[in-house]
Structure 1
């Protein structure tokens, strides 16, 4: 079986393209490493049989205590009093300073990644204590809490992703042009 003469060149060209992609993507890796929420207590969208006394958020990367904010609001979007955020490594917490009646609450956070990029989000949880005599807090507005229904990460695609995508597009056009030119010569 004979191998077409253009095959070794195509293999070398493919290897060169792969090498360029690896060179472009490997250094850009850390730029994509924005901090994300790993776990939360109370758990996101959970229903609790007793009100929490503390909100604990654990992130993938260390937190900067200076730029860590954790806020608790009720269904009427009123801020619930809490202590100042306490940060230790990748965990941030606040103490809830008053008893929470039954109802839906939202935990909102804003932290800064090690690369200096701010990350924020929010999530709801519900207190449904069967022994509570306090009336549940209900929303005074008619908007559905769709924006707070899941953790919101307001990051768009990072600059590294955009640069790598652009480089890949340019590379595809160049390789396509070279292959078309080679075919036209024959």
Structure 2
């Protein structure tokens, strides 16, 4: 094997050694599944909200709140089982609701966001308030001060922020993959050319 090809393969191995071990760290936690679902209209008044994330949650710093307009719904403390957090409450009246959450995963990364759903139960009553639900703020979702030291706060306060982490990770993996493929293709080209020349 000629020196240029050998050098190229060594460089490729060095790039992979640097990039691949760090790849798992790029995948921050994010909301994977919600019940009731984001943007859904449920026909039966729910008595709980269940949020499933990509990574395990830290029970001490898991906060989930439901509000209707400016009215916060009385709910239980979040019950955390692995990557899932659940709160329970009395059956909701008909109307629009906002679920706000802030969680800290086991790796210390903080994720926060919100989404809306609607209750349209023929047997239920009207919601306590018809005002549009505000974006989550400190009065709805609070994390003890020590959580800030455990991890930096997420830059945005809606579901799009959590999803943007995933899109950024996808872009990074695509770039890494493209670099690896390009280097392999170039190495193959040099190897084939040198064999023909020999």
Determine if the TM-score, normalized by the shorter chain, exceeds 0.5: yes
Q: Deviations over 1:63-111 (max 9, x none)?
A: 111010101111x232111111111111110002x33221111111111
Whose Rg is larger? Answer: 1
CA RMSD of aligned residues (A): 3.2
- Structure 2 match to 1:81: 74
Tell me which of 5, 9, 16 is aligned to 1:15: 9
- DSSP 3-state at the match of 2:162: coil
Q: Provide TM-score, normalisation by structure 2.
A: 0.63
> Where does residue 95 of structure 2 map in the other structure?
103
> Does the CA contact (< 8 Å) of 1:31 and 1:115 recur in 2?
no
Aligned length: 151
Question: Equivalent of 2:126, from 134, 138, 141?
Answer: 134
The Cα shift of 1:41 comes to 0.8
1:124 positional shift? 1.0
Q: What is the SS of the residue equivalent to 1:26?
A: helix
Change (3 A) 1:54 1:141: closer
Q: Which runs of 5+ in 2 are unaligned?
A: 136-156, 180-198
* Alpha-carbon distance in structure 1 between the residues aligned to 2:49 and 2:134: 27
1:121 corresponds in structure 2 to 113
CA distance, structure 2, for counterparts of residue 124 and residue 46 of structure 1: 8
**Aligned equivalent of 1:55:** 49
| Rounded Cα–Cα distance in structure 1 between residues aligned with 2:40 and 2:15 | 43
Query: For 2:25, what is the secondary structure of its paired residue?
Result: helix
Structure 1, unaligned stretches of length 5 or more?
A: 1-6, 169-186
Distance 1:95 1:142 in 2: 21
Given candidates 81, 87, 92, the residue that maps to 1:94 is 87
**Preserved CA contact (<8 Å) 1:119 1:154:** no
